[in-house]
């Protein structure tokens, strides 16, 4: 299994991210978690962020999981539904995680829990 993390901090303007340091966070996460890489885009749901996400999903292998660490999963579900449809990336390998309202340690812990869960019980597509 390969895990890639795409971080978003809502343009750096949202108070939900005021306690996190997005300059130091990507390397901190890469050092402490079993991930291929962590990429930060300040607006994954914007034009460039969408394209970056599309590139990540299109280049993913069959055992790649992509964690979008950003706002509420419900909001992300709406924002990224079209991208999942157009890329054909399996929804069960696209994990939407809420990383708002905490600091770097909190984000690290949320990702750690998510990744440990995936490593223990990978989410797979329902049998056809
Ligand atoms: S994906 Fe969510 S956190 Fe990122 S810019 Fe859009 S609304 Fe904000």
Residue-wise pLDDT for 72-118, tens only, equals: 999 999 999 999 999 999 999 999 999 999 999 999 999 999 999 99
Q: Exposure of 46 by Cβ count < 10 A (0-12 exposed, 13-18 middle, 19+ buried)?
A: middle
Whether residue 123 has pLDDT greater than 90: no
Which CATH number covers residue 107? 3.40.50
Neighbours of 8 (CB within 10 A): 25
- Give 38-56 as a DSSP string: EEEETTTTSHHHHHHHHHH
Distance in angstroms between the alpha carbons of the first and the last residue of the chain? 22
Asked if the structure places residue 125 within a domain, the reply is no
What are the structure tokens assigned to 109, written together? Answer: 């812990």
Pocket mutation for ligand 1, best pick of 6, 10, 15, 40 (most atoms within 8 Å of C-beta): 10
Distance 1 CA to ligand 1 centre (A): 26
Q: Calculate how far, in angstroms, residue 128's C-alpha sits from the geometric centre of ligand 1.
A: 33
Q: Is residue 27 part of a domain?
A: yes
Task: Report the predicted TM-score, pTM, of the whole model to 2 decimal places.
Answer: 0.95
Domain that holds residue 47: 2-120
Total count of domains within the chain: 1
């Amino acid at each position: 299994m390969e895990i890639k993390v795409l971080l978003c901090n809502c343009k750096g303007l949202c108070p939900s991210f005021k306690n996190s340091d997005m300059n130091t966070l990507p390397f901190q996460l890469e050092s402490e978690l079993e991930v291929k890489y962590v990429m930060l885009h300040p607006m994954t749901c914007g034009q460039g962020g969408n394209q970056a996400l599309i590139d990540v999903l299109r280049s993913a292998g069959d055992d790649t999981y992509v964690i979008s660490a950003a706002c509420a999963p419900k909001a992300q579900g709406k924002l990224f539904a079209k991208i999942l449809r157009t890329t054909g990336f399996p929804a069960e390998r696209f994990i939407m995680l809420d990383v708002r309202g905490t600091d770097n340690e909190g984000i690290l812990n949320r990702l750690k829990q998510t990744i440990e869960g995936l490593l223990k019980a990978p989410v797979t597509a329902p049998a056809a």
